[in-house]
Each structure stands twice: as C-alpha cells, then as structure tokens.
Structure 1
Amino acid sequence: MHEYSIACEIFDTVMATAEKNKAAAVNAITLEIGGLTHVNPEQLMFCLDVLSRNSIAEGAKVNVNFVPPSGECECGYRGDAGVPDKLRDEDHPSLYEYAIQTCPVCGKQLQLVDGDELMIRTIDIEI
C-alpha cells in the first residue's frame, strides 16, 4: 500500500505550507494524479483523512484531478496517448495497454511522456 507513504509526504508538505503561512485551518487540497501512477484515490484519501485527524487539516476537502497519459511520436505528434476502445470500460488500464498505443497521425508507436505525475496543485488555507 504505497498510498500511505504518498499520503504522508502530501500531509507533511501541506502542514509545512500551512505553518509557513501561519494558517489557522486547511480547507481544501487539490491533487493532480497521472493515469500511470496507479494510485488508488480512495485509499489515498482515506490515509490523508487518518493523518489529518486532530490537526488544522482535519476535515479538509481533497479534490483529485486525473491527468491522462500523453505521448509523442517521431513524426512530431504530441498529445493524448488515448486508451484503446476495448479498454474504455476499465477504470485503470495497465501500463502495457498505454505503452502499445500508436500515433493517430502516422501509426508508429507512441513514446509516453506524461501521466506519471502526482502533484499538490493547490492548498486552500484559512489565516
């Protein structure tokens, strides 16, 4: 369960930012999670909820924005890596399914360049 260690890092960063800005409360946190991280958002939010108990971040809303993988091709295409139609019903296609995507312009295999990020985009605090 790597979500716990990720949650610890997020919580530490949020609390350090809140302390630096002399915050009385943390109201919301917005995260960006790439589709290739394979982070379970429910587990991550559960861990953040447990870690924030009895702190100024207790009860903070956690917003998650998912970032789809993107790829680039030697022909110059750069954009959405897409998900094969047969996988669109699955919540989390495997890395393999993304890695075999072809360029919509020339048909060659795409090189994945984005989609593995996990970032704190915003921290909404009350001073």
Structure 2
Amino acid sequence: MILVHEVSIMGEIFNIINENVRRHNIKRVNKVVLKIGEFSCVEDSALKFAFQAFSKDTETEKAELIINRVKAKSECSECGEIFDISFTDKKCPKCNVFSNNIISGYELLLEEIEGE
C-alpha cells in the first residue's frame, strides 16, 4: 500500500533530481541513492513504488534506487558514549543514563545521483 507520506517525499526528491538533470544536461540517470534514518518513519516498499511512478517516461525510468538505512544513535551527555538506540530504549549502556541527544536516525537525504 502506498502512503501519501512517501509520495510527497519522492515528489521532493524528483524536484531535486529533475533540477540536476537540467543543470548538468544528464541524458539518463542510472542510480539514485537515498540515505534514510530508521526513525524517519519512511516505508521502503512505498518509497520504491513512488519512485517507479515518478520515474516513468523520464530520464530516471531505468535507474536503480538504492536505500541506505542509517541506525539510530545517541551520544550520552554524561559519559560521551555513542550507542545504538530504539524508540523505547535510549539508555546509555555504559552509565545507564537516559539520553535524548540523538545524533543519527532521522536522516532523509538524496545522497547521490549517477547519470550520463
């Protein structure tokens, strides 16, 4: 099932792709790489479906979509430890202090466009 959230995100991504296609006179996009944090609440399958819909009959139609997931991490304000977190567990494994200093996991970036 496609979600409106992913369609909106892909629309913005395609605005950037299309701007770069025009600016750099790209005839064919071969690869699009996204960097998405695990806390971004973006569904990969819905994003891929939206990518196919937006790329139809464009320079991006045959491009490979690569989604690189980023683990959610926090940095402890007490001891400086950097550690993996989840939505329900943000305690430092070293000193057991709750950390709200999230340093990764919310990313939603167009990392790379490869074309000719």
What's the TM-score once normalised by structure 2's chain length?
Answer: 0.90
* Number of positions where the alignment pairs a residue of Structure 1 with one of Structure 2: 112
Partners of 2:10 and 2:43 in 1: CA distance: 11
Q: Name the counterpart of 1:58.
A: 61
State the partner residue of 2:103: 113
* TM-score, structure 1 as length reference: 0.82
Tell me which residue corresponds to 1:4.
7
Q: Map Cα deviations across residues 56-88 of structure 1 (whole Å, 9 max, x no partner).
A: 0101100010001110212232423234xxxxx
Looking at structure 1, the residues matched to 14 and 48 of structure 2 have their Cα atoms a distance apart, in angstroms, of 11
Please state whether the residue corresponding to 2:46 is helix, strand or coil.
Answer: helix
Structure 1 alignment gaps of length 5 or more: 84-94
Pairing of 1:32-43 with structure 2 (within 5 A): 32-43=35-46
Q: For the structure 1 residues 61 and 72, does the alpha-carbon distance in structure 2 shift closer, same or farther, using more than 3 Å as the test? A: same
Residue 16 of structure 1: SS of its match in structure 2? helix
Q: CA RMSD in A?
A: 1.3
Aligned to 1:44: 47
1:104 aligns with 2:107: no
Bigger mean CA offset, 14-23 vs 110-119: 110-119
* 2:83–2:93 contact (8 Å) kept in structure 1: no
**Structure 1: which 4+ aligned runs deviate by more than 4 Å?**
none
2:108 maps to a residue whose letter is: L
